[in-house]
Amino acid sequence: MSQPNVALSEAAAKRIATLIERQGNPRLKLRLSVDGGGCSGFQYKFGFDETVQPDDTVVERNGVTMVVDAVSLPLLEGAEVDFVETLGAASFQVNNPNAQSSCGCGTSFSI
């Protein structure tokens, strides 16, 4: 496991804790990865996982854990995962300094 250079905002940590509590499994961790595809070339993928792989980067905040795989990490270097609630929607957003452009939905980006 390496030192994290990916951050988790206070709002994201609170939302992850709520979602884990609803699942009833305190061993869950948020897994963030980057896949090829989407309308801009790459897309963020969020999911829950109980395991931490040996090459994962582990980010902890307020008792919750986010893991990022070694392949995705270079594309997320310096990024922050936030949770944003607006009048019409609520979602996780990745504020990624490496993304040169992103699509309107905010889940797809290019470098």
Structural domains for the chain: 7-105 (2.60.300.12)
Distance, in Å, from the CA atom of 9 to the CA atom of 76, rounded to the nearest integer, reads 15
Paired tokens of 84: 């944003």
Q: Quickly tell me which residue has 């999911």 as its tokens.
A: 47
Report the mean per-residue pLDDT for the chain: 85
Above 60 in pLDDT, residue 96? Answer: yes
First to last CA, the chain: 25
Residue 51 contacts residue 86 (beta carbons within 8 Å): no
Amino acid 110: pLDDT: 46
pLDDT tens for 40-72 read 578 889 999 999 999 999 999 999 999 999 999
The secondary structure of the chain as a DSSP string is -B----EE-HHHHHHHHHHHHHHT-TT-EEEEEEEE-STTSEEEEEEEES---TT-EEEEETTEEEEE-TTTHHHHTT-EEEEEE-SS-EEEEEE-TT-SEE-TTSSEEE-
Amino acid 102: pLDDT: 56
What does pTM read for this prediction? 0.81
